[in-house]
Amino acid sequence: MNHITLLDGGMGQELLRRSSRKTTSLWSADIMLNEPMIVRDLHLDFIESGARVITLNTYTATPQRLARENELAQLETLHRSAMEAALDAIELSERTDVAIAGCLPPLVASYRPDVSLPYEASLDAYRRLVELQSPVSDIFLCETMASINEARAACTAAMESGKPVWVALTISDFHPGLLRSGERLDEALPVLASLGAEAILLNCSHPEAINGCLPQLRGIGKKMGAYANGFVSVGPLQPGGTVEQLEVRQDLSPAQYAEYAMGWVREGASIIGGCCEIGPAHIKVLHERLCQEGFL
């Protein structure tokens, strides 16, 4: 039976729920600067719910996003704070089996490969993020990659660390088999496999879209995985906008989400978790299901 690695869920949306601050376009990075204890406590909640990999809360802490908000000077501070929050949460959990994933996100905006940087500029930026996050990262997770160019740059930079690299692609919710760039998933997979990624995942898309595309990952000879979001649509989100623009689905309870995720396990996924709007309660139920069915 396949051993399953359980990831955490989405940090940003849950942090906004717990925060007393007004939502900004820097999203989780704003909370990281001003309310780091909330970040630590959410990491801990995910660990106590069963997650054994937690991802650094640096998704919006890229040079490009910070520069857009005149906050580039906070880049190193944000990363130090994020690493401390993750380490403190693991220490508080008193567990020795929790890994930290460094986070290599879209540099400019989620779901919008049309505004992404050229390859060489992306590679330079990702190398800087790898350098900042390497002190605590056991794995590098290139996540919500919407184009081959973006994924290739992030994966290349991460591979230079010598640590395991997982690449998570975000796919179209409404056009089966395509990345959000319009490129074909089956064209992206061999590129990433050739770069040496240890695992390839699908993330931050409808669970139904992941259901349709996950079988394509089977033939590449890599670990495969998935973690979906709980948005109705990501279409309304514009670069520099806030996630308040996005509507949350009402049909993804923890039990319903776990049903999707267990389907991915049966398809061969060995790394599962949740993305935006998938919180500790979802991960807890998923952990229980994995234990009941002998995967953990």
Determine the Cα–Cα distance for residues 152 and 56; give it in Å rounded to an integer: 21
Terminal alpha carbon distance of the chain: 10
Binding site annotation covers 275? yes
User: Tokens in use for 194?
Assistant: 């050739």
Q: How many helices (H) and strands (E) does the chain have?
A: 11, 8
Residue 167 · residue 140 · CB < 8 Å: no
Binding site annotation covers 276? yes
> With helix as H, strand as E and coil as C, how does 154-189 read?
HHHHHHCCCCCEEEEECECCCCCCEECCCCEHHHHH
Determine the Cα–Cα distance for residues 119 and 105; give it in Å rounded to an integer: 14
How many CB atoms are located within 10 Å of the residue 195 CB?
16
Determine the Cα–Cα distance for residues 254 and 263; give it in Å rounded to an integer: 14
Residue ranges of the binding site for Zn(2+): 204, 275-276
Query: Which positions make up the binding site?
Result: 204, 275-276
